[in-house]
Amino acid sequence: MPQRILIVAAHPDDEVLGCGGTIARHADAGDQVQVLIVAEGATSRQGKRDRDVVAGDLSALAKAAQTAGAILGVAGVELLDLPDNRLDSLDRLDLIKQIEERITRHQPQVVYVHHAGDVNIDHKRLHEAVVTACRPTPGQPVRRLLSYEVASSTEWQPPGSAPAFQPNWFVDIADQWPRKRQALEAYAAEMRPWPHARSIAALEHLARWRGAQVGVEAAEAFCLLRQLA
């Protein structure tokens, strides 16, 4: 049976970096995939947040998110306007309520979110909010909760500083890797040249390595946080 999937990402491009191939695989299976991106993704490059100064960058990021979503086959991409790299400045309850509202609206059976141990503060805060919003109360539609890795954040956390990313769930994306690459190219302004961890070459190496861990050509790796059969 087709499933309803919710991808929760902090910034435009995180959804593709972390699980672009898995998104495409869900879409190929007939699942309905909704993407929620909560932070605007540009104002942290300023000393003081001023959306007007980076209005062009924000517009380009929003367009890239929609283009990437179309490439991967998602049903919808929603972008909020929360402050980039400043989610820790918000009341946690307000962030949780934003997630709860989307869970109520979309009734997802599967939710993907950032790993708890990422360097990026927005990733951490969003992980906490999603875990709370997906708590297993009666009537909760979410049956499976997973966290994904994001190159240039997950692997940059020093050992012992936070929970390590130790994947126990792998998705074969050999057939979907070309579309993930195309979606990454839609975010060209956010990508970096090799040997940066957020280069397309590095991301292909990561996909091949995750695939090799489970005997396939390419894969994405996740931590399974909760599963209700």
pTM score, whole prediction? 0.95
Give the pair of three-digit tokens for residue 53.
Answer: 């100064």
Domain that holds residue 178: 4-227
Q: Do residues 61 and 40 lie in contact, with contact meaning Cβ atoms separated by under 8 Å?
A: yes
Number of separate domains in the chain: 1
What's the farthest any 2 CA atoms get from each other in the chain? 49
Report the pLDDT value the prediction gives residue 52, as an integer from 0 to 100: 66
Residue 180: CATH number of its domain: 3.40.50.10320
The percent of residues above 70 in pLDDT, for the chain, comes to 94
pLDDT in tens, 70-110: 999 999 999 998 999 999 999 999 999 999 999 999 999 99
Rounded Cα gap, residues 151 and 103, in angstroms: 27
pLDDT in tens, 19-74: 999 999 999 999 999 999 999 866 666 566 666 667 788 889 999 999 999 999 99
Q: Do residues 129 and 116 lie in contact, with contact meaning Cβ atoms separated by under 8 Å?
A: no
